Amino acid sequence: MGPVPSGYASGADIAALLVLLTEFAMLRAPQLRSQVRLYGFQSFVVVVLTLVTGAVRGYSDLYILAGLSLLLKVVIVPALMFRLLRQLDVDQLHHPAGGGGGSMVLVAIAASAFGFFVLRSLDFRSKVLPTATLSVSLAIVLVAFVLVILRSDVVSQAVGFFSLENGVSIVSMAIAAGLPVVVEVSFLFDLLVAVVVFALIMRAHHARAGTLSTEALDRLRG
């Protein structure tokens, strides 16, 4: 396996950065629908990266993975979430993006810088993707945590978890491209099950509390 071709390398970097920027947009998105749309876009970027990597680096398994990811993460998951939002007839939250969007972005920048430098010090080498992509993907994982922790509605928290999975997909492409495809597919299947369960519990929460905000979820303490 030769060195990473330079045109492909910069393409991969741009794709990873786009994924990270999408996550920053999620931090600020006031509407739940736009949150889901951003997730669909993010997944699409990951699918394209998977396809191109499969073609350039010669891993034909990645085509299968890209096809299934497209179906699941770009079509089925957003469709399920849109359907849920339509049925519950909510879009705008009463208290959009609690805690001040600006400081949230600052925390996210700190987290992504941390991820970027930690990975450099670990001396991981990817045979498939440029090392910078790997650093960005760790930043994606960390910012997803910020998203889940700081957003105060169940939809954004769920979308944060799904985009965390996108970050882990890029990591897995970078350092474990040889992972048997049946394993990758079972990971995807698991995501689908998780999405369904998330949606069921969100629906139950909305039925009881009449809102998708997490402010009502404060009974259990100590």
Partner 1 sequence: MHAVIVALFVVPLVAVVLSYVVPVKVGPPVSAVAGIASFGLCVALVSTASAGTEHALGSFLRLDALSEVFLLATTFLYAATAVFASGYLERPKGAAGERYSRRFWAGFNLFCAAMVAAPLMNGLASLWVAVEVTTVVSALLVAIDGTDEAIEASWKYVLIASLGLSLALFATIVMYYAGSSFFAGSYNLSYTNLLSGASHFSPGAVRLAFVLAVLGFGTKMGLVPMHTWLPDAHSEAPSPVSALLSGALLAVCFYAILRYFQVTVRAVGPGFPRALMAGFGVASLLLAALYLLSQRDMKRLFAYSSVEHMGIIAIGTSFGAPIALFGVLLHVLAHGAAKGTAFFGAGSVVRKFGTKDMDKVQGGASVLPWSATMLVAAVLALSALPPFGIFRSEFLVVEGGLSSGEDALSAVLVVLVTVAFFGLSWFTTQTMLTGAPASEAATRGAAAGKDGTLARGEVSPWIVVAMVAGLAALVLLGVHLPGDLTALLRHAASQLLPGGTSTRGVQ
Q: Which positions touch partner 1 (CB under 8 A)? A: 122-124, 141, 145, 148, 154, 157-158, 161, 164-165, 168, 171-172, 175-176, 178-180, 183, 186-187, 190, 193-194, 197-198, 200-202, 204-205, 208-209, 214, 216-220, 222
Instruction: Name the minimum Å distance from CB 65 to partner 1.
Output: 14
Nearer to partner 1 by Cβ, of 12 and 202: the residue is 202
Nearer to partner 1 by Cβ, of 47 and 142: the residue is 142
Nearer to partner 1 by Cβ, of 10 and 134: the residue is 134
Question: How far, in Å, CA of 213 to CA of 192, rounded?
Answer: 23
Instruction: Name the minimum Å distance from CB 180 to partner 1.
Output: 6
Nearer to partner 1 by Cβ, of 7 and 208: the residue is 208
**Other beta carbons within 10 Å of 136:** 27
Question: How far, in Å, CA of 104 to CA of 96, rounded?
Answer: 13
Nearer to partner 1 by Cβ, of 104 and 202: the residue is 202
Instruction: Name the minimum Å distance from CB 206 to partner 1.
Output: 10
**Other beta carbons within 10 Å of 222:** 2
Nearer to partner 1 by Cβ, of 10 and 186: the residue is 186
Nearer to partner 1 by Cβ, of 79 and 118: the residue is 118
The amino acid that residue 113 corresponds to is A
Instruction: Name the minimum Å distance from CB 193 to partner 1.
Output: 5
**Other beta carbons within 10 Å of 84:** 21
Instruction: Name the minimum Å distance from CB 201 to partner 1.
Output: 5
142 φ/ψ sector (left φ>0, alpha ψ -120 to 50, else beta): alpha
Question: How far, in Å, CA of 157 to CA of 153, rounded?
Answer: 6
Instruction: Name the minimum Å distance from CB 190 to partner 1.
Output: 5
Q: What is the DSSP letter of 74?
A: I
Residue 36's H or E segment, with its range, is helix 32-57
Residues in the chain: 222
Q: What is the DSSP letter of 128?
A: S
Cα 65 to the chain's mean position, in Å?
16
Instruction: Name the minimum Å distance from CB 45 to partner 1.
Output: 19
Spatial neighbors of 201 by CB under 8 A, at least 6 apart, are: none
